[in-house]
Structure 1
């Protein structure tokens, strides 16, 4: 099984910390899985301009193809200004409408405030549903206070 763990921000460290933990748990519980960690902070992505994802080059094409080839996807996102980051939205904009069909998708959300717990429900879940993902019904929500150093 090809599992992609996506850290969906190009700034900060908390989401990457959560996704590193996610990778460790997947490796421990599913050792035969092929796991790819994509941290958007490590790539130079172009903005989506409506082209087919196969027409992009470099990091942009690599990320799009890696997501498209996944069997399962863990999406990690911080919440900035009561919204998902533009870098994560750009990944979704690069992909075709049915890009996540038959892919099991889970969400890991990091936020500085408990007030942001519904952002995943109001913003991320509708995008993933539109793209035909098989969504895990619950998601992980990690607040600032849950991180220690």
Structure 2
């Protein structure tokens, strides 16, 4: 199985680190799982204009192909103005309607205030469901205080445990889908 993580932040390291922590946890739980991190900072993903994907640049097509070829995915977003990032929303706008059919789609989010912990639940979860993704019961919201200020390493043990549980649930659910 291949697990692809998407970091929907164009600035900072926290979201990418959080997504990568899910990938690492999945690898610890099952060493046969291949993982890949798509950090949108490293790609020139074009703005979605509703055109066929073949008309977009190579980076855009590459990212879309990687997402569509994944067995399951974890999406990470910073929370800006009580919403998911525009970069992640734009990427999702490039995907076909059934992009996540028979795929587990986990969620991690980072933010400066605990007031935004429900943003992934109310904004990203419905979009992933629209694409036919199966969303695990627990997403992970990470307040920026959970990171070491100097190294951006997650220092909150409870958050690390929740990331581990998310990876475990994602693997369990994806195996169930694959064995149907």
TM-score class normalised by the smaller sequence: over 0.9
Whether 1:84 and 2:122 are equivalent positions in the alignment is no
2:45·2:57 contact (CA, 8 Å) conserved in 1? no
Larger-Rg structure? 2
Aligned residues: 149
When structure 1 is superposed on structure 2, of 65-74 and 15-24 the one drifting more is 15-24
Whether 1:45 and 2:39 are equivalent positions in the alignment is no
Q: TM-score, normalised by structure 2?
A: 0.79
CA distance in 2, matches of 1:103, 1:139: 16
Structure with greater strand percent: 1
1:8·1:85 contact (CA, 8 Å) conserved in 2? yes
What residue in structure 1 maps to residue 27 of structure 2? Answer: 27
Q: TM-score, normalised by structure 1?
A: 0.95
Structure with greater helix percent: 2
What residue in structure 2 maps to residue 73 of structure 1? Answer: 73
Q: Secondary structure, in 3 states, of the residue corresponding to 2:132?
A: coil
Q: CA deviation at 1:56?
A: 2.4
Query: RMSD value over aligned CA atoms?
Result: 1.1
1:53·1:94 contact (CA, 8 Å) conserved in 2? yes
Q: Residues 84-134 of structure 1: CA distance to partner in whole angstroms, max 9, x if unpaired?
A: 111000111000111111110100111110000111111101101111101
CA distance in 2, matches of 1:54, 1:4: 22
Whether 1:105 and 2:105 are equivalent positions in the alignment is yes
Name segments (4+ residues, structure 1) moved above 3 Å: none
CA distance in 1, matches of 2:88, 2:9: 6
Q: CA deviation at 1:38?
A: 0.2
Q: Which segments of 5 or more consecutive residues in structure 1 lack a partner in the other structure?
A: none
Q: CA deviation at 1:33?
A: 1.3
What residue in structure 2 maps to residue 126 of structure 1? Answer: 126
Q: Secondary structure, in 3 states, of the residue corresponding to 2:92?
A: helix
Whether 1:63 and 2:63 are equivalent positions in the alignment is yes
Q: CA deviation at 1:72?
A: 0.6
